[in-house]
Structure 1
Amino acid sequence: MADPTAAMVFAAGFGTRMGDLTQNRPKPLIEVAGRALLDHALDLTDAAGVKAVVNAHYKADMVAAHVKGRPDTELLVEQPEILDTGGGLKAALPHLGNAPVFTLNSDAIWAGPSPLDCLREAWRPEQMGALLLLVPLERTVGYTRAGNFATDAQDHLTRSSSGMVYTGAQVLHTGGLAKITEASFSLNVLWDQMLPEQRLFGVEYPGYWADVGTPDGIGLAEKMLEQHANV
């Protein structure tokens, strides 16, 4: 099957940059515009018609209670250690099926079309190992670091600090994960397998994207939604 039927939603991080806000709750349950960050992500998977697998580690019981009873959503608790993005995805494979999968970070807010629809439209499974959704720095909100990737005329990716920003949304084939023996690892390890084979691709998101990684990011994301909700 070439089209994704499931999405991995990463919600296991400690949220240390949030300071006191994550003392009593996990970062994915922090609210932006009256809804938990995790709900913003799950609204996207619901609209795309795909199953969501959510991982949790820090204050996992609170995440479990939050998603309990939500249709087409399954929770996986990472214990005793957190597995990072690559390890978390690999551990979730039995629950995600054999098709390519979407992945979403739970600490992002979008103003514009569905990121999953953008990925689905540009996905060419026979050619691509992974397709990353990117946004220019000038259309990011709350993001204070450098860019991650540049694209060529064929949309192949190269790493570039002066390039566009990876938004935490992608669609990918998961077969390469079997070659990685570590339990905990970043998805960068999988991307590094694909780069020399020119199987790592990018597509530009046409709207605005907020990185809700710090307390200031909450208000910035809410302002973005007010100004650009109809992009």
Structure 2
Amino acid sequence: MKAMILAAGFGRRMRPLTEHTPKPLLEAGGRPLIVHHLERLRRAGIREVVINVSHLAERLIEALGDGRHYDISIRWSREDTPLETAGGIRHALPLLDEAPFLLINGDVWCDLDPGRLALAPNDLAQLVMVDNPPQHSGGDFHLDDADRLHPRGEPKLTYAGIALLHPELIAGVPEGEATRLAPLLIEAMQHDRVGGYHYHGDWDDIGTPERLAALDARLPHP
């Protein structure tokens, strides 16, 4: 299985830290956020990773190269301007082939073993869901007792920014068009084609300098 890490955003909420440093290269626990992802993917046996880049792209490419330092293979999907989540995935599909792939937001930290995820027959996605953090108390989607996700219903959980996706979910997005992922997921949910995995382990959305500092303070440093 391949993985894709989303790393093309501007990181506006993290300013001034991201004015000269791509958000995935910001450090916590003595290592860049994206390196934590790469190390966890390698431990899970995932050796092929696609990373999309736009803002400060050359800084990321220079830092990570082809991935050999991390014992993985990195391929880069460049975007002249950020294409949003689904648009970025659509642009990278030729690098991802036709099998389901793991999708990870570059600005989250999570100790989930991706080997726990699996698509049910006929599903287009399985989303990792977590308990609602203080900054997102309303949640995103309802997970029922059969581990199916719904756009409506209570209680809601928060999408963790980690998912297993089938390329079919994105195939209809026009190449080069900025497109959000959420509407595609909601449509698939309405056809009962999205499962959920409620993760109770360690997870953080690193959306502000304060949350980055808090994560850095509690992670061990090498």
**TM norm structure 1:** 0.85
Match of 1:166 among 156, 159, 163: 159
Aligned-partner residue type, residue 195 of structure 2:
F
Structure 1 letter corresponding to 2:57: A
Shift in Å, 1:66 = 1.1
* One of 15, 18, 25 as aligned partner of 1:22: 18
For residue 186 of structure 2, what is the amino acid of its counterpart?
D
Separation of aligned partners in 1, 2:42 and 2:165: 19
Aligned to 2:100: 100
Gaps of 5+ in 1: 227-231
Whichever residue aligns with residue 200 of structure 2, its letter is P
1:56 and 1:78 in contact (8 A); partners too: yes
Write the deviation string for residues 15-37 of structure 1: whole angstroms up to 9, x where unpaired.
00111101111111100111101
Residue 130, structure 1, aligned to residue 120, structure 2: no
Q: 2:116 is matched with which residue: 115, 118, 122?
A: 118
In structure 2, what residue type is equivalent to 1:148?
D
Distance 1:181 1:56 in 2: 19
Which amino acid in the other structure matches residue 134 of structure 1?
A: M
Two-structure CA RMSD over aligned residues (Å): 1.8
The aligned residue for residue 148 of structure 2 is: 156
Instruction: Give deviations 1:70-128, integer Å, cap 9, x for gaps.
Output: 1311111111x2111101111111111111011001111124x42x1222xxx134142
Are residue 33 (structure 1) and residue 34 (structure 2) matched? Answer: no
How big is each residue's C-alpha offset from its partner over 1:2-57, in whole Å with a ceiling of 9 and x where there is no partner? xxx11110000100011110111111110011110111111122222221100110
| Partners of 2:4 and 2:104 within 8 A in 1 | yes
One-letter amino acid matched to 2:40:
L
Q: CA offsets, 1:200-220, max 9 Å, x none?
A: 111111202111110001122
Q: TM-score, normalised by structure 2?
A: 0.89
List aligned pairs for 1:192-203, cutoff 5 A: 192-203=186-197
Q: Which residue number in structure 1 is paired with residue 2 of structure 2?
A: 6
Cα separation, 2, equivalents of 1:56 and 1:109: 19
Q: Report the secondary structure of 1:52's partner residue.
A: strand
Corresponding pairs, count:
212
- Specify whether residues 207 and 6 from structure 1 end up closer, same or farther in structure 2 by C-alpha distance, changes over 3 A only: same
Structure 2 contact 119–125 (Cα < 8 Å) conserved: no
Write the letter of the residue equivalent to 2:93. Answer: L
Matching residue of 1:74: 75
Work out the CA distance in 1 between the residues paired with 2:193 and 2:66.
Answer: 38
Residue 229 (structure 1) aligns with: none
- Structure (1 or 2) with the greater helix fraction: 1
CA distance 1:198–1:164, shift in 2 (3 Å): same
The 2-side partners of 1:170 and 1:14 are apart by 22
Q: Does residue 135 of structure 2 align to residue 144 of structure 1?
A: yes
Q: Which runs of 4+ in 1 moved over 4 A?
A: none
